[in-house]
Structure formats: C-alpha cells, structure tokens
Amino acid sequence: MEISQGVHLIKGVRGSNCYLVTHPELTLIDTGMPGQHRKILSYITSLGYENGKLRRIILTHHDLDHMGSAADLQRVTGAAVCIHRADADCVLGRSPRRPFWKAWLSSLATLWPEFRPPEITRLLEDGQNMDLLQVIHTPGHSAGSITVKYGPVLFVGDLLRWGRVFKQTPRCFNEDSSAIRDSIKKIASLDFDLLCPGHGKPVFGASHKLRELGSRWSWGRQ
C-alpha cells in the first residue's frame, strides 16, 4: 500500500513493519521475521519491478523481527544490506544482544529453520546519505538503532510507538532508555510530516504530535 509518494507499507509481513521506498531506486526498510521474503518479493513484483531491482535493505536495528528475512532477500535479489556499525556484530552473532533476554531469545532464533544472518555489505554512520535517504543515529533501543529520513518521511524503527499519543518503547525492550529520550529529541528537531514506526500504524502530522510528547517532558527547561 502506497502511504506517501514513493513510500509503501508492505502489508501482511510478520514481525515488524516493512517499508519500500521506490524512488530513485528500490530500498527496503526492515524485513520482518524469518520466512517473510516471498511476501515481500511478490509485493515488489506486483509493482512491476524485477527482484534484482532491489538495490538495498536498510535495517533500523539488529532485532530478529526486523532483520529476520534479510538474508533470503539478499540471496534472491543481490541487494546490499546496510546497518549501523554499532549493531552489526549483534546481527552476525559476534557480540551478545542486550538487554540480556534478547541474547537468550536470539540463541533460540538460530534454531529457526529458515533463519540465517545476512551478509552486511555496508556499515552506516550518522549523517550518511544514500540517494535521497539520510541516516540519523538514534541509539537507545539498541546501540546502533537508526532513523532514516526520506524527504518528509521518517522511518524510526523501535525508537517510539504510537497509541493515542507517542510513547517510548517500554524500558524492558531497550538497551538504554535514557539515550532514547535524547534520540527522540534529535528527531523532533527535524522537518518531517509522516512517521513510520517499526510496529503499529504510520502517523501523519507527526512532527506536531511529537512536540506534544516533548512538552510532556518539558524539553524547554532542560
């Protein structure tokens, strides 16, 4: 479903939201749990693109529900897989996930028959640009969590969630909840309209709504 010009939310992907940016080249943002690649590929095909047109996969962070199908998509399409350097070792199993229960959960993930880690072809850093996409380092949920800005659209991964208002991801899911506040303040200063979270619905008019969250925290006094 096209939710904004050149931005699609691929419905029916299990795990996280999976977004496709089509202009100027095909970029996928997050991939859902393992086993979701066929659904994602058939959506890309339904738009009239061949699989090989997928240029890159950007992972907002290392969690399995976001990177689970990256390896299969990479195998079929040859797309580059990009993640912030601070999360790369978790994807490759070279450093343990935090908080501790994620390390435990990820050891179970390796038993998942369809799961393999992707080959990371590009390490991302704050401020980096790829075509019209800008990488913003927004640590907290994980050390290498990123937000991706595409014109007036922000893809924030698990930085925050939307209920009736914006909320932080619950503390127990985060590596460093105090860093999340700083990251949310960082994106609140940007010029944007549509916020695309890793879970839940995309939010229009989000800049204004995010400022409401800021006023609850009394940002002006800090």
Q: In what order do the strands lie in the sheet with 194-197?
A: 129-130, 133-137, 146-150, 153-157, 194-197
As measured in angstroms, the least distance from the Cβ of 158 to Zn ion is 4
**Which of 56, 126, 66 shows the shortest CA–CA distance to 91?**
66
197 touches Zn ion (CB under 5 A): no
Listing DSSP states for 185-219 in one string gives HHHHTS--SEEEESSS--BTTHHHHHHHHHHHTTG
- Decide whether 64 or 153 has the Cβ nearer to Zn ion: 64
198 touches Zn ion (CB under 5 A): yes
- Decide whether 4 or 169 has the Cβ nearer to Zn ion: 169
C-alpha 190/C-alpha 92 separation (Å) is 32
As measured in angstroms, the least distance from the Cβ of 193 to Zn ion is 23
Within residues 120-179, the interface with Zn ion by CB under 5 A covers: 158
As measured in angstroms, the least distance from the Cβ of 30 to Zn ion is 8
From 3-11, 30-38, 56-64, 180-188, give the range in contact with Zn ion by CB under 5 A: 56-64
Out of 65, 72, 87, 176, the only residue in the binding site for Zn ion (CB under 5 A) is 65
- The neighbouring-strand residues paired with 196 are 155
Tell me the two tokens of residue 183: 């990251």
From 11-19, 93-101, 104-112, 124-132, give the range in contact with Zn ion by CB under 5 A: 11-19
Name the helix (H) or strand (E) containing 72.
Answer: helix 70-77
**Which of 56, 87, 88, 90 shows the shortest CA–CA distance to 73?**
56
As measured in angstroms, the least distance from the Cβ of 153 to Zn ion is 19
* 3-state SS assignment for residue 147: strand
Number of residues that bind Zn ion (CB under 5 A): 5
- Decide whether 62 or 137 has the Cβ nearer to Zn ion: 62
From 1-9, 34-42, 55-63, 94-102, give the range in contact with Zn ion by CB under 5 A: 55-63
CB distance 18 to 31 below 8 Å: yes
**Which of 204, 166, 198 shows the shortest CA–CA distance to 184?**
166
- Decide whether 118 or 198 has the Cβ nearer to Zn ion: 198
202 touches Zn ion (CB under 5 A): no
- Decide whether 87 or 151 has the Cβ nearer to Zn ion: 87
- Decide whether 16 or 27 has the Cβ nearer to Zn ion: 16
Tell me the two tokens of residue 100: 């501790």
- In the complex, the residues that contact Zn ion under the rule CB under 5 A are 16, 63, 65, 158, 198
